[in-house]
Every structure is written in C-alpha cells, then in structure tokens.
C-alpha cells in the first residue's frame, strides 16, 4: 500500500470509512463480521480509519476501538465531536443539535478515548461548524487537548475557506474532511486552494457518491430498510436516471483498463492532488481489496477530460435542505 501525507500525518493512500458498519445504512452490522473486516483491512495495508461519536451513537467508536486494539501504534484513528447527543439523532429531519462549546468538546473527547481504547486520539475533527461558537474558541479547546496529550492532530469537517483560515491561525489544522467526488466537486471552488496554501490535507468522505459511483445502484429498490439514501435528492429516480451517463463513462474507461468503475472513480480523486486521501466505506472485505486497487489505476489526460465532461452534467442535491444548512458553508 502506498502512503500519503495529510499535513504532517502519514497514512495509507486509501483509508476506510467505518460509519456504515453501525449507522445510516440500515441496522448495525454483525460485530464479529465487522471486526474481521477491520482487522483484514489492516492486514491488507490500510492504516487510516474514520469514525465519530455520532455514528450509532457511540456504537461505531466502540467497534473500531475493540477491533483495532491489537494494532495500537500501527494505525491512525480519526474521530469527531460536534453534536449534542442527549437525544437520538435523526438526520433525515435535520440531525441532532450542534454543540461545539469548549466544555462539551472536552467531555466528548473523554468519551471517545474510552470507547476507542486509546490514550490519545490521532486526529480529532469538528464534525460540523457550529455557528453559535466562534471557531477560534473551538480551535483553542482542541489546542488545550493537544497540550494535555489527549489529541495529536486537529481537523475540520465541511468547513469553508474562511473558517479554515481562522481555525488554523489558532491551532494548526492537519486535515479537512469534506464530501468530494465526481458527483460533488464544491471543494474545488475555494477550499482546495486554501488547503494547498496552508499545507492541509483533504480527506474526502463519500468518495464513491454513497455507492452510486460503483455502478451497482440502479434504483431506490436497491436500498434496505433504514437506509438514509432513500431520503436524499440525488437518489430520486429522475436524478439517478440522469446521472447514469457519468457511470457509463466511468465503466467504459474501467473496461479498457481491466479495472472496476469504483476504482476509476477513486483513481480520479487520487490524481487531483497528492495530499488527498479518500475514505470509502464498506462492510465487505472484497470491496476493501477493490478500493485498494484504485491506487494503481492510472488515468490518462483523455480519460480525465472525458470524465470532467460527464461529471459536469450531474444533477440533484446531495442532502435535504435542513442537512445542507449544517455543512458550514
């Protein structure tokens, strides 16, 4: 497995998003099976794992912490704070209330440390920008946690360029985690330039468009009970029918390279910048292996040009309006 640097943190070129093992894509998956998956990913060279206290809530951190305990010092675990979890989150209705007050951050970190079974969190993100708390106060609270030896690196998620600069002035930001893929390219408008200027890495979540860019999702009938994608505008029948044109282009390129459609979509991301590390999520080990293969799938200038033309025609919002308002943009 190749490695890349996000800020000063060295990780595998492909990470693993763990949310779907416990949250959002139907009921939580079998713990024993997911433990085998996580450990199998390490054995295949993945060293970068992404979780959050809200995934479950708490279940995903517990799963990841227990599964990766035998690999302490060999893997990087990223987690997130930023929500009031006193009530069960309902993301289809807008999600839980944001909360990034300094005292709440410190309390959240104590919980994450216990669930992850670590003494220090490798990478701690603010999950969503909280408009009620100045970002300077958030960065200051994380700076204190770093000084106390409870956190190593600070990250932001779905923050805009202005917020990134303000936070970085107080505490160095190692990584920005934002949605970025062939069907959501908003970070190209402002954030990528700021990240390059400040030496901050980008960790794209949903790099495969929540599965759509794999070419395996044709209709809403492919979703199981409790799958939050059924409520997303981009997964309406009309949007999926229109966006199939992008899949057709990716599949055509993949066939010529003896690769998969998903590998081409991930290769496109990897070729944008050397400090981009996508974290595709999966609950199947063969998909982990497939995603790793994207590292060696090289795209030509002609491939990239054809993909750009098709991606420009993608349609449909990525979230319902209530959730989109929480992205910090």
Per-residue confidence at 89, pLDDT binned at 50, 70, 90? low
Residue 293 lies in a domain: yes
**Residue 157: CATH number of its domain:** 3.20.20.100
15 contacts: CB under 8 Å, gap ≥ 6? 46, 47, 48, 49, 50, 203, 277, 278, 279, 280
| Model pLDDT for residues 227-264, shown as the tens digit of each residue | 888 888 888 899 999 999 999 999 999 999 999 999 99
Residue 260 lies in a domain: no
Residues noted as catalytic: 55
Q: Which position has the higher pLDDT, 94 or 79?
A: 79
Beta strands 76-81; 121-126: pairing state = parallel
Domain that residue 284 falls in = 3-211+272-297
Using CA atoms of 122, 126, 128, 133 in order, give the dihedral in degrees to the nearest 10: 180
User: What's the confidence (pLDDT) of residue 95?
Assistant: 65
DSSP state of 276: B
| Model pLDDT for residues 44-53, shown as the tens digit of each residue | 999 999 999 9
Hey, how many other C-beta atoms are within 10 angstroms of the C-beta on 289?
A: 13
Residue 157 lies in a domain: yes
Q: How many domains does the chain have?
A: 1
Residue 40 lies in a domain: yes
Q: Give the angle subtended at the CA of 60 by the CAs of 56 and 66, to the nearest 5°.
A: 145
Residue 126 lies in a domain: yes
Q: Is the pLDDT of residue 324 over 90?
A: no
- Chain mean position to CA 34: 18
Residue 205 lies in a domain: yes
Q: Supply the pTM of this predicted model.
A: 0.93
DSSP state of 247: H
Residue 266 lies in a domain: no
Share of the chain above pLDDT 90, in %: 82
Residue 308 lies in a domain: no
Q: Is the pLDDT of residue 35 over 90?
A: yes
The predicted model gives 136-146 an average pLDDT of 98
Per-residue confidence at 62, pLDDT binned at 50, 70, 90? very high
């Amino acid at each position: 497995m190749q490695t890349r640097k996000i800020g000063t943190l060295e990780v595998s070129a492909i990470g693993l998003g763990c949310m779907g093992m416990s949250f959002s894509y139907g009921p939580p998956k079998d713990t024993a099976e997911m433990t085998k998956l996580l450990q199998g990913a390490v054995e295949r060279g993945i060293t970068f794992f992404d979780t959050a206290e809200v995934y479950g809530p708490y279940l995903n951190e517990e799963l990841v912490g227990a599964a990766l305990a035998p690999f302490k010092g060999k893997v990087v675990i990223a987690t997130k704070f930023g929500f009031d979890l006193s009530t069960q989150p309902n993301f289809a209705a807008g999600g839980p209330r944001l909360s990034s007050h300094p005292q709440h951050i410190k309390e959240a970190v104590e919980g994450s440390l216990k669930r992850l079974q670590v003494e220090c969190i490798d990478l701690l993100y603010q999950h969503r920008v909280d408009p009620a708390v100045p970002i300077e106060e958030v960065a200051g609270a994380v700076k204190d946690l770093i000084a106390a030896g409870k956190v190593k690196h600070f990250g932001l998620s779905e923050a805009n360029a202005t917020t990134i600069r303000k936070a970085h002035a107080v505490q160095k930001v190692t990584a920005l985690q934002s949605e970025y893929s062939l069907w959501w390219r908003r970070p190209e408008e402002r954030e990528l330039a700021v990240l390059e200027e400040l030496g901050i890495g980008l960790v794209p979540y949903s790099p495969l468009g929540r599965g759509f860019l794999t070419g395996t999702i044709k209709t809403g009938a492919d979703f199981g009970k409790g799958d939050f994608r059924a409520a997303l505008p981009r997964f309406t029948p009309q949007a999926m029918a229109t966006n199939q044109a992008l899949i057709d282009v990716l599949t055509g390129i993949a066939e010529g390279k003896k690769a998969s459609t998903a590998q081409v979509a991930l290769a496109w991301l990897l070729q944008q910048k050397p400090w981009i590390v996508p974290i595709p999520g999966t609950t199947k080990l063969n998909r982990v292996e497939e995603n790793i293969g994207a590292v060696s799938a090289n795209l030509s200038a002609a491939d990239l040009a054809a993909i750009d033309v098709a991606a420009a025609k993608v349609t449909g919002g990525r979230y319902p309006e209530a959730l989109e308002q929480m992205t910090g943009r």
